[in-house]
Structure 1
Amino acid sequence: MDSMLVLLVDDHPVFAEALATRLAAEPDIEVLPVVSDSAGALAAIAREQPDVVLLDLVLGEDSGLTVLERIRARYPAIKVVMVTAVEDPDQTVAAVRGGAAAWLPKSVGAEELVRVLRGVVRGEAWMPPRLLALVLDRLTRPPDFDRDPLAVLTDREREVLRCMVDGLSRAEIAAKLYVSTNTARTHTQNILTKLHCHSVLEAVSLARRHGMR
């Protein structure tokens, strides 16, 4: 593999310098001087044209996501890897939508980080497995889900959900709606799937937040 040029953007100098030293030990990685803010990052990128930018999510008062957006708009060929102490699926989704090639926790081991860097240069993507399911869940939601998640339900499913909000058991729901318990169970599972919920309690909480009483 040809040598890759890497820029670290992080406002924690001890972490950043230690990481830069470790990466520089790899024969195929050349590390640029560390920068700590968005202005320095954009200036260094314009000057050096790195292959990969390792970008912190929080840069003082700046957001790494804003820097990501600017990098991808001006230099679409540059790969951006978010390296952060934050584990937030919504922020991860924003980074993925913004064009980040990978999302890495700062606790990641050096060998794995190097493997991910080599992978993104080849066009691969990566995120922690524990975040993957949550991120995919958010990416596959309907466009208006956050505004009105209950809109995806049929009238019958709304009736079942309203019974759940009222605290009725599955047998009580079946009796009230004149359906079998198997049908009530099927409606319940469909509701959980459509609302991206993992339990009845979570679905009830979501319904209450969106006005169902």
Structure 2
Amino acid sequence: MRQTRILVMDDHRLFVETLAVRLAMEPDIEVLPVAHDIKGMLAIAKTGRPDVVVLDLMLGSVSTVGALQDLLDRCPEARVIFLTAAQDVSLMVQAVRSGAVGWVPKSVGADQLIRVIRTVALGGGYIPSRSLAELLRRLTTGDEVAEAEHRLASLTQRERQVLSCMVDGLGRSQIAESLGVSVNTARTHTQNLLNKLEVHSALEAISLAMRAGLRPSVPAA
């Protein structure tokens, strides 16, 4: 029986080590040493030559999508699955455009994850059915939408939360209250996201966010 070499990376040590033990129980799966950060993942990938890599999408507030090119440069044959609690389709689009072939919610059971790993190892892919239509729509839209999504992918998780509040029409003090931070902190996050998005005003940021698919969470009265 041919074994599929699996590399798993997650910064929650108990979770990733428990997952590795469960995967290793399968006779057709060989689990490489687990990684807890991007540097460790790239080092293990270079020597272990995994067939499938299962990545946590967020390490703290940092997206691991940006590390995908480095990983595929080292292991061009590797098939990459993101295992994540995030449900942001914009991040999913960025991940697929960067070379990922699977996106699995952390709410699934181990048996389903193993089925996905086997499917991916054989050349298939996996996207949750509830997200597939929107993902395909965004992947087939024009360059303007793709550019907007690319810019949003540079934001941290907190900056995306601030941007979502801006799309909802909240002012700075309301954003601070909603996120449980000071007004100064909200101001800093706002300025950082404006710089990253290469825009000069909140209105431009909101317009860019809506081109990327963000919508107000509560319809205006």
Question: TM-score if structure 2 supplies the norm length?
Answer: 0.64
The one of the two structures with greater contact order (alpha-carbon pairs below 8 A, sep at least 6) is 2
Q: Residues of 1 paired with 2:46 and 2:144: CA distance?
A: 38
Please tell me whether the aligned partners of residues 7 and 33 of structure 2 are also in contact (alpha carbons under 8 angstroms): yes
Q: CA RMSD in A?
A: 2.5
Q: CA deviation at 1:144?
A: 2.1
Q: CA deviation at 1:33?
A: 1.8
Aligned letter for 2:73?
A
Match of 2:109 in 1: 109
Q: Residues of 2 paired with 1:142 and 1:62: CA distance?
A: 27
Gaps of at least 5 residues in structure 2 are 149-210
Please tell me whether the aligned partners of residues 38 and 62 of structure 1 are also in contact (alpha carbons under 8 angstroms): no
Identity between Structure 1 and Structure 2 (%): 45
Match of 2:38 in 1: 38
Secondary structure at 1:118 match in 2: helix
Residue 69 (structure 1) aligned with residue 64 (structure 2): no
Please tell me whether the aligned partners of residues 11 and 37 of structure 1 are also in contact (alpha carbons under 8 angstroms): yes
CA separation of 1:81/1:145 partners in 2, compared to 1, >3 Å: closer, same or farther?
Answer: closer
Matches within 5 A, 1:202-213: none
Please tell me whether the aligned partners of residues 57 and 64 of structure 2 are also in contact (alpha carbons under 8 angstroms): yes
Query: Quick check: which has more Rg, 1 or 2?
Result: 1
Please tell me whether the aligned partners of residues 50 and 75 of structure 2 are also in contact (alpha carbons under 8 angstroms): no
Q: Residues of 2 paired with 1:86 and 1:114: CA distance?
A: 20
CA separation of 1:48/1:146 partners in 2, compared to 1, >3 Å: closer, same or farther?
Answer: closer
Q: CA deviation at 1:145?
A: 4.0
Secondary structure at 1:83 match in 2: strand
Q: How many positions carry a matched residue from both structures?
A: 154
Match of 1:93 in 2: 93
Gaps of at least 5 residues in structure 1 are 149-194, 206-213
Secondary structure at 2:7 match in 1: strand
Secondary structure at 1:144 match in 2: helix
Matches within 5 A, 1:1-213: 1-60=1-60, 62-145=62-145
